[in-house]
Amino acid sequence: MKKYLLLFTFYFFSASAQVSFKTDILGKKDLLREELSLQLPIHLDSLANDSYRRIGVWTAGGNIVFQQMNPTEELPYQTMNLSANVLHLRPLGTRWSWLAAIGIGIYTTENRLSSIAIGENVVANGALLFIWHQNQHLQIGAGTLVNTLLSYPMIFPTAFVEYQGERWTGWAKGNFLEGGKGAIGYHFNDVFSLYLLADASIYAAFLRKEGKKAVFFTQHSIIGLQPDFKVGKYLYIPLVVGIDLMRMSIYKERKFNTFFTQTLEGTSKQSYSPAFYFSVGIKLVN
């Protein structure tokens, strides 16, 4: 099964339809996150004779992330992210492919779920990556991500690398808006694999704070072991047990001249001590 990066939700996509659900528990239930994603290939070009095992495919997908934490006066109690994407992967020359994507996302909090505003909660995304195939096992991609986080289009870098051998697998991917993630794993047999996972993901929600358009970020630095079980022909059960080394929550005003340098006026950065992390998921691949 050939895999490539799906940009805006930090997943890989393949030529197969798949749906997945996972639950994350951080800091003794201080934070609970649930995530549902769907991917559906809508057109596939067969490249059976390609020496680098490349594919040509159109894919449509969606993602929902719901996050709940202990209520405080300073932090949102609940946040929700919804996104939808269309991606197109196509070989380019003898060793290259290109990946184009467009998408839309809604990032909001519990008190704005019924009052989504186009200018405040909805973000448009676009991306273009060029992928170099060193051989059948190693791919490296880099490109740009265009996002309307600050209410107008801005360009950010994005990149990934993936190695998929007969037994060993390794990958890393990241962009400015969603942080980074990586893993290295060993495929023991047809039903069990084990990975060492590092995750520095960022989750966002848009809201008004102190009367200003703001974005609320939650960022983690997680390291853990991920045993991955395959049950039958289509069902996968990934688990992660580890530690959240650093969790941070911060407000930023959605203005270019302050976004990269300071927190929103009247708010402060919230930091948390290391805590236990556990994740359990289920994935159906057809």
Q: What is residue 143's predicted lDDT score, i.e. its pLDDT?
A: 93
CA-based nearest residue to 267, from 220, 204, 214, 203 = 214
| Residue range 47-68: mean pLDDT, rounded | 82
The 10s digit of each residue's pLDDT in 140-193 is 999 999 988 888 888 999 999 999 998 999 999 998 878 899 999 999 999 999
Q: Per-residue confidence at 244, pLDDT binned at 50, 70, 90?
A: very high
Q: What is residue 111's predicted lDDT score, i.e. its pLDDT?
A: 56
The pTM (predicted TM-score) of the whole model is: 0.84
CA distance 96 to 36: 32
What is the set of domains in the chain, with CATH numbers? 17-285 (2.40.160.40)
- Asked if pLDDT for residue 218 goes beyond 70, the answer is yes
Neighbours of 124 (CB within 10 A): 13
Number of alpha carbons in the 13 Å side-chain half-sphere of residue 90: 8
CA-based nearest residue to 79, from 281, 214, 211 = 214
Q: What is residue 271's predicted lDDT score, i.e. its pLDDT?
A: 86
The pLDDT > 70 percentage for the chain reads 90
Q: What is residue 6's predicted lDDT score, i.e. its pLDDT?
A: 38
| Residue range 38-44: mean pLDDT, rounded | 87
| Residue range 197-204: mean pLDDT, rounded | 92
| Residue range 265-284: mean pLDDT, rounded | 90
Phi then psi dihedrals of residue 13, to 5 deg:
-120, 160
Q: What is residue 240's predicted lDDT score, i.e. its pLDDT?
A: 96
Q: Per-residue confidence at 9, pLDDT binned at 50, 70, 90?
A: very low
**Which residue is associated with the tokens 């340098």?**
261
Phi-psi region of 210 (alpha: psi -120 to 50; beta: other; left: phi over 0): left
Cα 223 to chain center, whole Å? 16
CB 259 within 8 A of CB 253: yes
Q: What is residue 3's predicted lDDT score, i.e. its pLDDT?
A: 43
- Asked if pLDDT for residue 234 goes beyond 50, the answer is yes
Q: 55 vs 114, which has greater pLDDT?
A: 55
- Asked if pLDDT for residue 116 goes beyond 80, the answer is no
CA distance 250 to 268: 7
Calculate the average pLDDT of the chain: 85
Q: What is residue 115's predicted lDDT score, i.e. its pLDDT?
A: 55
Q: 114 vs 192, which has greater pLDDT?
A: 192
- Dump strand ranges (E) for the chain: 3-6, 11-14, 18-26, 31-45, 56-69, 78-92, 96-109, 122-133, 138-147, 154-164, 168-175, 179-187, 192-209, 212-231, 235-253, 270-272, 275-285
